[in-house]
Amino acid sequence: MASLVEELVSVMQQEKDGYDRLFELSDQKREAIVKRRLQRLEELNTLEEGVASDLKNLENKRTRCLQDMSAVLGHDREILTVTQIIDLLEKQPAEQEQLQESKNALVASATRMRQLNEQIQVLLKQALEMTEFDLTLFRSLKGAPETANYNKNAYNTGDVLPSSGFDAKQ
């Protein structure tokens, strides 16, 4: 059982390290969004995909470890959670403490990552709104305001102000 606990702790430490790496990349991504560096943002997204893939593989490995531990503890039909295994290891305080510390570190790292993702989501939403505003502004500049000139039949002539926006003719 001790070797299974060590393997689980090792996998959880690797997951924590992966989340820490993902956090670093996401922090750089946040900076790229703020500075509007699209090329850098694309590079960071590619790197993040690789780290996310590694994290998925580690998650699968952790699930296999939990399945093995569940079988050893006599819970063949169900997969126990890390918390449940910690509770079941009350007679092995060293392994229990080690597993608890790994779990707490992983949860803290994942929580920090989630908070940064929420910040990035807000930044992206604001960037999209700003882009939409810019596009609307550029479209409105094409259709300059019409002058209030009327022909002899009292119809608006539809004259458009020159591109400078001010008519200096008198």
DSSP string, 116-143: HHHHHHHHHHHHHHHHHHHHHHHHHHHS
- In a domain? residue 18: yes
Q: Place 76 in a pLDDT band, splitting at 50, 70 and 90.
A: confident
- In a domain? residue 150: no
- In a domain? residue 166: no
- In a domain? residue 135: no
- In a domain? residue 144: no
- In a domain? residue 36: yes
* 12 pLDDT higher than 90: yes
* 45 pLDDT higher than 80: yes
- The Cα 152–Cα 133 span in angstroms is 40
- In a domain? residue 126: no
* 152 pLDDT higher than 70: yes
- The Cα 162–Cα 104 span in angstroms is 66
Q: What is the pLDDT of residue 164?
A: 54
**Residue 3 burial class via C-beta count within 10 angstroms: exposed 0-12, middle 13-18, buried 19 and up:** exposed
Tokens of 6: 């060590």
Mean per-residue pLDDT, 55-68: 93
Q: Place 139 in a pLDDT band, splitting at 50, 70 and 90.
A: confident
φ/ψ region of 159 (left if φ > 0, alpha if ψ in -120 to 50, else beta) reads beta
Q: State how many domains the chain has.
A: 1
* 168 pLDDT higher than 70: no
Which position has the token pair 């022909």?
151
User: Domain range spanning residue 22?
Assistant: 2-116
**Is the pTM above the cut of 0.75?**
no
Q: What is the pLDDT of residue 78?
A: 80
Mean per-residue pLDDT, 24-53: 93
Q: What is the largest distance, in Å, between two alpha-carbon atoms of the chain? A: 102
Contact of 34 with 123, CB cutoff 8 Å: yes
- In a domain? residue 107: yes
Q: What is the pLDDT of residue 19?
A: 95
* 145 pLDDT higher than 90: no
Question: Nearest 5°: phi and psi at 90?
Answer: -65, -25
